[in-house]
A and B are shown apart, each in its own frame.
Chain A
Amino acid sequence: MLTRRNGEALRIGPEVRIRVLSISRGQVRLGVEAPADLLVLRDEVYERVVEANREAAEPGVEGTP
């Protein structure tokens, strides 16, 4: 765990930097710098896709083995 103030940043490895852009009324705006092949998404958006993929990968009720 670490604490950051407005305008400060943290790094994850050599290529990812996350900066606190502003804090206001319970909302934090973050700026993310990351390589193009790294997926940067809101967690809940990603989790929805995980769930959709898992459901789609299940064998069909009928027909498929």
Chain B
Amino acid sequence: MSDAVWVEVAHRRVGDIRLPESAVIRFAGLPGFPEARRFALFQHDQDSPFSWLACLDDPDLAFVVTDPRLFFPDYAPGIPSRALEALGADGACELLSIANLRGERPCLNLAAPLVVDATSRRGVQVVLEEKQHAIAQALPEDAAKQAPARSGAAGTASGGTGTSDGVEAPEVERPG
């Protein structure tokens, strides 16, 4: 690991990010953000179900994401095999949903989940054609209270240790 290449970004949404190149997650852009390719994924807070997916190419761009099955245990989207093929995924993939915490009622996008391949560190936002998944599924009332934007933590990434999937956690430093 002594040869590890580190990526450092002074991110305006989540604070300073520093992580090994090997922990960077690569997307071929996201709908609406075609230039957003390299991301850091780290927990918002040790006890929070929410994580940050912060773009390393754009220091103003970050999404709040979470494992949708923490809130909707029955959620089992059919990810098209061609999407997994495109990732080069042959093993375990992480399923995440983008959270929108701005409105009156925080919600998750269940219609277009993110799939991240743990091995290749590549990700894709899969747009499901299945009509039963809502693009803005309201979160249960109590769940929303744990959300970063409402916790008063000013969006700083605290700690950044201990991602849920055992992948090497990016080191995130508090600004200032």
A interface residue numbers (CB < 8 A to B): 35-37, 39, 41, 45-46, 48-65
Report the contact-size class of chain B (Cβ under 8 Å from the partner).
35 or more
Given contacts A61-B149, A63-B148, 20 further A-B contacts (CB under 8 A): A36-B82, A36-B86, A37-B28, A37-B85, A41-B127, A45-B127, A46-B31, A46-B127, A49-B111, A51-B32, A52-B109, A53-B30, A56-B63, A56-B64, A59-B13, A60-B149, A60-B150, A61-B102, A62-B150, A63-B149
10 interchain pairs, CB-CB under 8 A: A45-B129, A49-B32, A49-B127, A49-B135, A52-B100, A52-B112, A53-B112, A61-B149, A63-B152, A64-B154
Contact between A63 and B102 (Cβ–Cβ < 8 Å)?
no
- Interface residue B98 (Cβ < 8 Å from any Cβ of A): yes
Q: How many angstroms between the C-alpha atoms of A58 and B102 in the bound complex?
A: 8
Collect the chain B residues with CB atoms within 8 Å of residue A63's CB: 148-155
Which secondary structure dominates where chain B touches chain A?
loop
Encoded as 1 (CB less than 8 Å from any A CB) or 0, chain B from 83 to 96 comes to 10110000000000
Least Cβ distance of A15 to chain B in Å?
13
- Nearest-neighbour CB distance to chain B for A16, whole angstroms, equals 14
Contacts of B86 in A (CB 8 A): 35-37
Enumerate chain B interface residues (CB-CB to A < 8 A).
Answer: 12-13, 28, 30-33, 61-64, 82-83, 85-86, 98-102, 109, 111-112, 125, 127, 129, 135-136, 148-155
The closest CB in chain B to the CB of A59 belongs to B13
8 closest pairs, A vs B, by CB?
A60-B149, A37-B86, A64-B155, A50-B32, A36-B82, A56-B100, A53-B32, A36-B85
A49 to B124, CA, bound (A): 13
